[in-house]
Amino acid sequence: MPFLLFLLLTLTSSCFGEITVKARDIIKKLEKGESVEMKDAVVEGVLDFSDIGKLSPVGTVLAEARVKANFFCMHCVFKEKVVAKKNNAYTRFDGNVIFFESEFQKEVDFSNAVIYGMVNFTRSIFKENAIFNQMAVWSKNSDFSEITANKKISFDVSSFQGNLSFFDAKFLGSFSLQEVFVLGILQSSKADFGGKTDFAMLKTGGRAIFQYTKFKYEPDFSDIKVEK
């Protein structure tokens, strides 16, 4: 079953973005605790991970949606928003969150998500704003290498308990890593920041690498702390 959709898609698609999948079907699958694996799919409708199942109250203010299975997609096109939050509700991902070489045509918002698995958006394209604020990622690697962000992308106040990579990424809009904590290495080599950048109050437990990095505007590195 976990691979049914994957197989179905891989068998019937021959080129990028040929198969159409409804966002609500993805959520249904995740609700059953089954992993979603897609390739060359076009996803229609808003994909809101916080729609999954019943929200569990966290304290008196918040509620948590919980995705227990892995999410993997490769060469996917998301025609509508991809989000993982609501007012006073966030999403916890127990497994991996992988969007490899995918295209996001509308906004992306993973604010407040808590992710225990791998995070990988390598070579993905964000055509609209992408917000990853106040996330907590517990895995060893969060990979945004070679991504292209056409508009604003921000990771404000997020914490990464492993490494975080923007290697060879291209940012056409603004980029913010304000008050972010990276326990491991922050890798920004060859990244091209075409918009304004904010690294204020960034803390890293490992190295922060900016070799061959291009900045169109002077970056804000105020109050940053690099332990090594």
Footprint on this chain of other proteins (rule: CB under 8 A):
58-59, 61-62, 88, 90, 112, 114, 133-136, 138, 152, 154, 156-159, 161, 174-176, 178-179, 181, 183, 195-198, 200-201, 203, 205, 220, 222-223, 227
Minimum Å gap between C-beta 34 and other proteins is: 26
> What gap in Å lies between CA 12 and CA 67, rounded to an integer?
27
Cα gap 41→43, rounded to integer Å: 6
**Rounded least distance, CB 6 to other proteins, Å:** 31
Q: Closest CB to other proteins among 6 and 171?
A: 171
Torsion of CA 23, 25, 93, 90, to 10 degrees: 60
Minimum distance from residue 138 beta carbon to other proteins (Å):
8
| Residue of 15, 137, 131, 134 whose CA lies nearest to 76 | 15
Q: Is the distance from CB of 42 to CB of 66 less than 8 angstroms?
A: no
| Minimum gap (Å) between residue 132 Cβ and other proteins | 11
Pick 88 or 211: Cβ nearer other proteins: 88
Of 72 and 166, which has the nearer Cβ to other proteins?
A: 166
Tell me how far, at minimum, the Cβ of 38 lies from other proteins, in Å. Answer: 28
Residue 19 CA: distances (Å) to CA of 12, 30, 62, 78, 180: 8, 19, 36, 12, 37
Nearer Cβ to other proteins (41/195): 195
